[in-house]
Amino acid sequence: MPKEGQINILAIPYKNFKHKIRLTKRFLNRYMIQDLGGVLYMERREEYENKNK
């Protein structure tokens, strides 16, 4: 169950391919990432949530 105030889903627009790769590397460990045509849609991984409890 998500904690109050915890962000579980992010949608971040990117400028170009280089910016997309930089964002992907930054968030890959914590989020499952999908590219939706100019926007990276990221959903928090459950196992990452469990580690921080």
Number of neighbouring beta carbons within 10 Å of residue 6: 9
| DSSP labels, 8-38 | -EEEEE-SSHHHHHHHHHHHTTTEEEEE-SS
pTM greater than the 0.75 cutoff: no
State the Cα–Cα distance between residues 22 and 1, nearest whole angstrom: 30
- Is residue 10 predicted with pLDDT exceeding 80? yes
Structure-token match 């469990």, residue found = 50
pLDDT of residue 36: 93
pLDDT in tens, 32-52: 999 999 999 999 987 755 666
SS3 15: coil
Please tell me whether residue 7 adopts helix, strand or coil conformation. Answer: coil
> Which whole number is the average pLDDT over 14-40?
94
Name the band, by pLDDT with cuts 50, 70 and 90, for residue 7.
confident
